Amino acid sequence: METATGVLLVGLLVLVVTSLVDCSRLPLVVFQQHHHLFHRLEDMFDDLALQTTVSPEYHAYRTVADSDYRPLRILYQVGESEEELPVCRPWSVCSKVDMYESPWIERQCRCPGANKCSSSLSSNDGHTLSDKTRHFKLCEPVKKLSKCRYFRDITWTLTSGP
């Protein structure tokens, strides 16, 4: 009788553990003893796959809450300067501003003609679409984008290309 109860308890324990694993968003490798090795390997592969180059120049920005200056990194999708970037097509994103923790800018392309892509950290510059922790800057004014007839919202798609 005791062995049957022991087998039943072990089976119940396995059922509870597997149901917890199924409900979790964590990959199964995290539940293994050697999962820390995989974290180090993922970091190594992420560093190798980095496609953007960091500009050695830093610009300063002023925070709204206080008046101290902090460095603002600018990354270039292609090359190491504005001149090496491709010219933007109409209604394409010229810069992405990541506002998570310390802000940084990723330049995608340069605006045609005498126009310059906005480097403002504010979303009120008239050229910005905001999405949670990112601002997407356009060469054209955002007010010229057509609005959805039913939801009064702007529809846009992010694509990356040469």
Residue 16 has pLDDT above 90, yes or no: no
Q: Pick one of 3.40.50.720, 2.20.20.160, 2.40.50.100, 1.10.3720.10 as the CATH number of 54-144.
A: 2.20.20.160
pTM for the model: 0.53
Query: What region, left, alpha or beta, does residue 32 occupy, with left being phi > 0 and alpha being psi -120 to 50 degrees?
Result: beta
Q: State the Cα–Cα distance between residues 32 and 36, nearest whole angstrom.
A: 9
- What is the residue extent of each domain of the chain? 54-144
Give the model's pLDDT for residue 140.
92
**pLDDT exceeding 90 applies to what percent of the chain?**
20
List, for residues 94-139, the tens digit of each pLDDT value. Answer: 999 998 888 899 999 999 988 899 988 888 999 999 888 899 999 9
pLDDT-derived band at 158 (thresholds 50, 70, 90) equals low
